[in-house]
Amino acid sequence: MNIPASILTGTTEGEGSPPAGGLPGVAELVGHGPIDTDTARALAGNAPGWDRLFVNPTTGHVLEIDRYQPSADQRRILRVRDEHCRFPGCRYPATRSDADHTIDAAHGGPTAISNLGHFCRRHHTLKHHTRWKADNLPGGLIRWTSPLGITYTDKPPRTVVFTTPDDTPPPF
C-alpha cells in the first residue's frame, strides 16, 4: 500500500507528493491500483506497522525508510539486551514492557536499536509526561536525568547471550 501522509492526516484530499512509484496524492493498493481515501485510512489503521518512506519530491525516488514499530529482529535484540524495564532499579520483565523510542518518533527519533529501550508502562508514561528524560548511550546504556538534574545510568544486564532461533534455551 502506498498512502501519502496528507491523506492519512486529512490535510488534503488528492494533492501532495507522489508515493514511491505511485500517482500524485493518490492512495494505491500495490498490484491493484488507486483506492479511495476512506479505504486507505481504514487499511492503514489496521496495519500492524508502517514503513515511512522519504521520497525526493521531484523524482519520486526513495531517499530513506523508517518504521515506527520495531521489526521482529529489533524486538528480539532488545529483549535479549534489556531483559527488564530500563529504569534504574525496575525489574519488570521486558516481555511485558513497551519497546519505546527514547527520542520520540514524533520528534524525529529513528526506529533503531540505538534509540529504543524497554520501559514498563509506569516508566514509559513517566518518560513522556514528566520532566524525567532518557538518553541512549553507546553500548546499550540508558542515562536517565531526573527533574532535579541528577543522572542515573542503567547498564544492560548482559552484553553477550546465546539463544536459539525460536528463543528456547540452549541444551547446555
Mind listing the pLDDT tens digit for each residue in 124-153? 999 989 999 999 999 899 999 999 999 999
Take residue 25 and report the three cell numbers written for it: 496524492
Q: Band of the pLDDT at 16, cuts 50, 70, 90?
A: very low
What stretch(es) of the chain map to CATH 1.10.30? 72-154
Q: Band of the pLDDT at 167, cuts 50, 70, 90?
A: low
pLDDT at site 3? 83
The whole-model pTM stands at 0.60
Q: Do residues 96 and 84 make contact, with C-beta atoms less than 8 angstroms apart?
A: no
Tell me which of 62-76, 85-99, 125-139, 148-162 is least confident: 62-76
Report, at the CATH architecture level, how domain 72-154 is classified. Answer: Orthogonal Bundle (1.10)
Longest dimension (CA), the chain: 60
Take residue 20 and report the three cell numbers written for it: 514511491
How, if at all, do strands 142-145 and 151-154 pair?
antiparallel
pLDDT at 171 over 70: no
Average pLDDT over residues 88-99: 94
pLDDT at site 17? 43
pLDDT at 160 over 70: no
